Amino acid sequence: MIEWLLVPGAYLLGSISSAIIVCRVMGLPDPRAEGSGNPGATNVMRIGGKKAAAITLLGDMLKGLIPVLLAQLMEVEPLILAAVVLAAFLGHLYPIFFGFAGGKGVATSFGVLLGANWMVGLAVLISWITIYKLFKISSLSALVAASLAPVYVYLIMGMQAMVYVAALIAVILIWRHKTNIQRLLAGEEN
């Protein structure tokens, strides 16, 4: 039963905003008040450059990866693993430490999927890179990769609970990117 403590722990770790911390440490403006207003790696790149964005990206990925790897090491049942995955992801989107205003979740979703199964993570990464190489649009790459994630989970892991969680994450990511989708449809996305 102690394994269930991983779920709130994953949420709390997910609630640590890499973007806000990196910007504070590097003397950059608060990403919630600059650029797109999104506390994520893409906005940090706009306001602070590649180094700040890379650190933010790594931090966001690790806060998804670490709790899921811990759950894997503890050999938890599939339902608990799926709950840990979802909790870390939701922690990034709705961080308790930062007024429940988080990022869009792309890097953290990659981290949780990589932790759940390295082949799923690799498949998602390859999808993102492929779409980015073709179109040079980060949001489009994220949307396609997220949409394919439940398929990869089904084909590689076959765990029903994880398929549902991957599908929920994909739906949430698409919803969080609605303004990006509008710009994509209008041909105005960077």
Give the separation between CA 128 and CA 109, rounded to whole angstroms: 12
3-class secondary-structure state, position 102 = coil
Give the separation between CA 179 and CA 149, rounded to whole angstroms: 21
Check whether 190 has a pLDDT greater than 80. no
Average pLDDT over residues 149-156: 98
Q: What is the pTM of this model?
A: 0.94
**Could you tell me if 129 and 92 are in contact, meaning their C-beta atoms sit under 8 angstroms apart?**
no
- Reference 140, options 124, 152, 128, 154; nearest CA is 128
The per-residue pLDDT for range 43-89, each reduced to its tens digit, is 999 999 999 999 999 999 999 999 999 999 999 999 999 999 999 99
Within the chain, residue ranges assigned H as helices are: 6-14, 18-25, 41-48, 50-73, 78-93, 106-116, 118-135, 138-152, 160-176, 178-186
pLDDT at 173 (0 to 100): 97
User: Residue ranges per domain, the chain?
Assistant: 2-186
The pLDDT mean for the chain works out to 96
Give the separation between CA 59 and CA 65, rounded to whole angstroms: 10
The per-residue pLDDT for range 114-137, each reduced to its tens digit, is 999 999 999 999 999 999 999 999
Average pLDDT over residues 84-95: 98
